[in-house]
Amino acid sequence: MPRIKLVTDVSQWGLLTWPARSRLRLVVCAALVTAVTVAVGFASATYILEHSRSVLINLGLITANMMFLLIAAFLHTVLIGDLFFSDSWREDVFLGKKPKKDDDHIDATAVNDHNAEFAIILFLAIVFNAVALNFVTGDFFSQYHDEGFFHVQMRSEATDQRVAALTNIADPVNNRLWERDGLRDLIVDAFDDEAPEVRRRAIWTAGSLEILRSRPPLREVASEHDDDETRAEAAYTLGKLGADRTTRLMLEELIDDQHPDSVRIGALRGLAMMEDARAVESILEQVDDDDEEVMAYAFWALARIGSEEARDPVLEIVETEEEPIRRCAALEAFKLVATPEDADWARRQFRRTDPDERCEALTFEEPDETIHHVIWGESVRVKWLKTVGNTDPYSHHRWIKRLIADPEEEVHLRDVAAEINQQMDR
């Protein structure tokens, strides 16, 4: 019959021979390795979270931490075994001293090695040491997983790495991290980055995460920065952060023609996002601007705000304007500031409009691929239809249904009519 052997005799490998010679040596070694593990943990945490620029180095340091942690856990387990297992357990297992055999066919050493208990205690020691190390280093492992990686990327000399970090932070997949103060501070600090693309991405990210405390630095950037595109992005982001009197007054000042057109457009976008009706009067002053893009964004802001205060001046432009792009921009605003009383008039205009009269699209896209339609690229008749749909569709329900069924109408117009009809049926 083969001899029963439950564990490997580690004494054959000479493991722990010196520490295992006495309990005192074992205690001293366990204490020293524990101290080294804590010291390496603190040093690694400080370097990685505050100085490191290399993810590869960080992985090496974290691996070293794990190795020290395992060694410490092993020594702790041996010490516990020495205290609570049989009196000769340490000498038998680690020094190779063999007790007398009670049976010719069973190796008593194997039975008394306590390998099952040792494995259980070792597992618990590893878990305990990992939790303890994470605690004494200020929750390093969690902090690195949730924040540290982004900090390392933001310290990279490669611009694309810093942009990638800000992009990943704003990814909805990481929304559980958005309330962490460390990440929010990281984003705001990047407003001063030397690379314009990093600055603009940081500003956009602040808007995506709705970091309200970023308003003061954003106002400073929008007003004083020497890069116009960065100023424009800051102005736009300020509008995303919601209604705020100080911000609104500043944006109203920035849409004046004394500022660069790109900054004015950014401020108009910001006012559009803010949707504060108190800005309508200032925006109306820009609908006659010589720059067609500034003019179009002014109408878009009026459309987003949707205040009836803009109805009369916009209607006057719609009735009298002959320049296609300005008329199209005005129609975009009118369909959202019109009243139910305008529905009949809009139907008459629909009937009088040439089906071939179209508007050229004007859009802009955000880093998350959100597309904003300043002017929809479609026929003018579709805009008149949308005006009816936005103001008094129920009074014109039969007319809308006829458009859906009319094979002579363009496909897009019939689709819009069907969508309006579907909204009414809900």
For residue range 317-360, list pLDDT tens digits in order.
999 998 999 999 999 999 999 999 999 999 999 999 999 999 99
pTM of the model: 0.75
- Return the C-alpha torsion angle 286, 291, 293, 295, nearest 10: 20
C-alpha count within 13 angstroms, C-beta hemisphere, residue 282: 21
Pick 64 or 381 by higher pLDDT: 381
What is the per-residue pLDDT for 7?
43
What is the per-residue pLDDT for 290?
93
161 SS3 class: helix
The mean-pLDDT minimum among 37-46, 266-275, 292-301 falls in: 37-46
What is the per-residue pLDDT for 244?
94
Q: How confident is the model at residue 98 (pLDDT cuts 50, 70, 90)?
A: low
What is the per-residue pLDDT for 3?
53
- Cα separation, 24 vs 233, in Å, equals 66
Considering the chain, what is the average pLDDT of its residues? Answer: 87
Q: How confident is the model at residue 110 (pLDDT cuts 50, 70, 90)?
A: very low
- Confidence check: pLDDT of 415 > 90: yes
- Confidence check: pLDDT of 231 > 80: yes
| DSSP per position, 294-344 | HHHHHHHHHHHH--GGGHHHHHHHHHH--SHHHHHHHHHHHHHH--GGGHH
Q: How confident is the model at residue 149 (pLDDT cuts 50, 70, 90)?
A: confident
What is the per-residue pLDDT for 2?
52
Q: Residue 231: how many CB atoms within 10 A of its CB?
A: 23
Across the range 121-149, mean pLDDT stands at 79
- Confidence check: pLDDT of 254 > 50: yes
Q: How confident is the model at residue 111 (pLDDT cuts 50, 70, 90)?
A: very low
Q: How confident is the model at residue 382 (pLDDT cuts 50, 70, 90)?
A: very high
CA angle 204, 209, 210 (to 5 degrees): 90
Q: How confident is the model at residue 4 (pLDDT cuts 50, 70, 90)?
A: very low
- Cα separation, 381 vs 117, in Å, equals 82
- Confidence check: pLDDT of 5 > 60: no
- Confidence check: pLDDT of 362 > 70: yes
- Confidence check: pLDDT of 91 > 70: yes
Please answer whether residues 75 and 30 qualify as being in contact, where contact means their C-beta atoms are separated by less than 8 angstroms.
Answer: yes
**CA–CA distances in Å: residue 111 to residues 115, 121, 198, 349, 366:** 9, 17, 65, 98, 69
- Return the C-alpha torsion angle 337, 343, 345, 346, nearest 10: 70
Residue found under tokens 């040439």: 354
Q: How confident is the model at residue 184 (pLDDT cuts 50, 70, 90)?
A: very high
Question: In the chain, pLDDT over 90 holds for what percent of residues?
Answer: 59
Across the range 211-231, mean pLDDT stands at 96
